[in-house]
């Protein structure tokens, strides 16, 4: 094949966040922009010539065009095989599994996850390494450094590849394989869960369900598994066709953006179980009739019941949570005397613990849970875990949750998001918090006494690396916490996230509304950061 070297111009804004590079579509469509970033990745990676690369995305606007460009750059740089999801579709957990199953060198996943899609919305790309997980910080920092000085990229002169037809073709020694996007992942799920029990429970009506794929990537996976394999009716999966604009959905599975599902689950006609997933299929929202399960509680409940699931019959090596996630899973770990690790936000921090066999389950409060089966969070896996749990325990979601709280206590929890805050204001808030934090220990605020206050710094127990400046923690003597951090997943301004947590051991008080129960902490959070005063806003953008 003929390979061209294209002289390019540099961009100074290609710094991958916690989950890759995310920008508006029109930014990626700038001359050389996508090409620069992909070439920068290949320039940094060692010894991949002749090896395989997995490519796929969530189907959002610009997905197919970007894949055709990536094929040409990957071919020019010497990859031996490209494994691509049919129609360019691969959920993030499915891509992770395929990298691992086929021993690929790595993969490029095209997604902006839970961000909106469309011509004027968001696009993203991230590199996953050979273990199936996101590239570690040392790699993403190297990608960024290279992107700031890159002066050319390589491009193979190839015709566009037919992404619709499953099969293998070879072009001048380059093997291009288009695979069924769902098959390998569905087989993996069948090996983890009791599909016979699930099929029986769904078909005899013990479990009724509603799954909202939000017109994003999980639709084909949910249809294949829930409908075709487990026998749920067609009506069990809504918004199942991935669309380039996600039909205008904001594909973030929470009570605000998945409000149709939430309305159904709090109605008289609610099924046994409800769930939603996000743009690239790695997040989940879990609901039962009349109840929403917070992601923090979900992680803790899965950990407490893991031995009911075939893949985890032997128990858990350990668990891990991101720093802002509630301490509910810590209590489960302490009860069962297994290790519990606290990491920064970002799934890549769980990868080392999983690879070192230190943990089996892990999760984040941002609607992500996962296990050793892949190196990404996995929305449909969490859904199947809950369905398997309901079928084994023969209880409703609410019964399972209240029984868990009775045994372990409830960590009443909420997250307040202030989205698209002016970056200068957001940075000033963090600077002011940093100036306060060292003097807060021992300070009394009504019924709340500060036990500790710090800026979280993570020391990786596996590779010895350190990740500083990961958010501010203020812990109180009664077990309550307030956490402040800036999110790295938005594309406009900054998102300030405030996490509020209060431990309640008294079972008679477990049914409290979180916003009422957390009211004193909400007042304290504003006292510390002044976000409403500085922005002029009266309330958070989203409360979960």
Instruction: Give the residue numbers annotated as catalytic, written as ranges.
Output: 113
Specify whether the backbone of 406 is left (phi greater than 0), alpha (psi in -120 to 50) or beta.
Answer: alpha
Specify whether the CB–CB gap between 279 and 286 falls below 8 A: no
CA distance to 119, 196, 486, per residue, from 377 (Å): 27, 25, 20
Backbone φ and ψ for 44, nearest 5 degrees, come out as -85, -35
**Cβ atoms of residues 181 and 89 within 8 Å:** yes
Q: What is the rounded CA–CA span in Å between residue 345 and residue 367? A: 12
Taking the CA atoms of 398, 404, 407 and 410 in sequence, report the sign of the dihedral they define: negative
CA–CA dist 454, 482 (Å, integer)? 11
Q: At 96, list the tokens.
A: 């992770």
CA 343 from centre of chain: 15
CA distance 156 to 71: 8
Distance CA 107, CA 94 (A): 11
Letter string b/e over residues 20-48, b meaning 16 or more CB atoms within 10 A of that residue's CB: bbbbbbebbeeebbbbbbbbbbbbbbeeb
C-alpha 50: how far from chain center: 31
Angle at 530 between CA 526 and CA 535, to 5 degrees: 120
């Amino acid at each position: 094949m003929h390979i061209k070297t294209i002289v390019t111009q540099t961009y100074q804004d290609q710094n991958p966040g916690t989950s890759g590079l995310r920008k508006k579509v029109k930014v990626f469509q700038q001359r050389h922009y996508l090409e620069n970033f992909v070439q920068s990745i290949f320039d940094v990676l060692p010894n991949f010539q002749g090896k395989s690369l997995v490519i796929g995305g969530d189907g959002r606007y610009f997905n197919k065009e970007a894949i055709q460009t990536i094929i040409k750059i990957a071919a020019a740089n010497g990859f031996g095989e490209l494994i691509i999801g049919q129609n360019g579709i691969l959920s993030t957990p499915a891509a992770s599994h395929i990298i691992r199953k086929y021993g690929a060198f790595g993969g490029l996943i095209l997604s902006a996850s839970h961000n909106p899609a469309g011509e004027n919305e968001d696009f993203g790309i991230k590199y996953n390494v050979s273990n199936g997980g996101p590239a570690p910080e040392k790699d993403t920092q190297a990608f960024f450094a290279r992107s700031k000085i890159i002066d050319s990229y390589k491009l193979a002169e190839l015709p566009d590849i037919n992404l619709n037809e499953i099969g293998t073709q070879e072009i001048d020694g380059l093997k291009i394989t288009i695979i069924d996007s769902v098959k390998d992942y569905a087989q993996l799920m069948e090996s983890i869960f009791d599909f016979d029990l699930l099929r029986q429970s769904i078909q005899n009506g013990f479990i009724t369900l509603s799954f909202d794929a939000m017109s994003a990537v999980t639709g084909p996976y949910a249809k294949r598994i829930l409908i075709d394999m487990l026998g749920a009716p067609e009506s069990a999966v809504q918004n199942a066709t991935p669309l380039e604009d996600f039909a205008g959905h904001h594909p973030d599975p929470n009570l605000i953006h998945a409000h149709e599902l939430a309305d159904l689950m709090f109605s008289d006609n609610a099924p046994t179980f409800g769930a939603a997933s996000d743009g690239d299929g790695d997040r989940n929202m879990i609901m039962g009739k009349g109840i929403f399960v917070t992601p923090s509680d979900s992680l803790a409940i899965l950990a407490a019941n893991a031995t009911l699931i075939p893949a985890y019959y032997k128990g858990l090596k350990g668990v891990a949570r991101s720093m802002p996630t509630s301490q509910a899973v810590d209590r489960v770990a302490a009860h069962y005397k297994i290790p519990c690790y606290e990491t920064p936000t970002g799934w890549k921090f769980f990868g080392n613990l999983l690879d070192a066999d230190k943990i089996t389950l892990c999760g984040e409060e941002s609607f992500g849970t996962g296990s050793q089966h892949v190196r990404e969070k996995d929305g449909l896996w969490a859904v199947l875990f809950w369905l398997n749990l309901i079928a084994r325990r023969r209880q409703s979601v609410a019964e399972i949750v209240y029984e868990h709280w009775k045994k372990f206590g409830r960590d009443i929890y909420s997250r307040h998001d202030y989205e698209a805050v002016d970056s200068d204001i957001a940075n000033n808030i963090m600077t002011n918090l940093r100036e306060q934090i060292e003097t807060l220990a021992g300070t009394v605020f009504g019924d709340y006494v500060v036990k500790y206050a710090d800026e979280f710094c993570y020391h990786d127990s596996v590779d010895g690396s350190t990740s500083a400046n990961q958010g501010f923690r203020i812990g109180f003597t009664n077990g309550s916490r307030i956490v402040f951090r800036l999110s790295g997943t938005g594309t406009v301004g900054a998102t300030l996230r405030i996490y509020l947590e209060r431990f309640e051991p008294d079972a008679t008080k477990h049914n409290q509304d979180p916003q009422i129960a957390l009211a004193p902490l909400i007042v304290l959070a504003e006292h510390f950061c002044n976000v409403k005063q500085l922005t002029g806003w009266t309330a958070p953008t989203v409360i979960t």
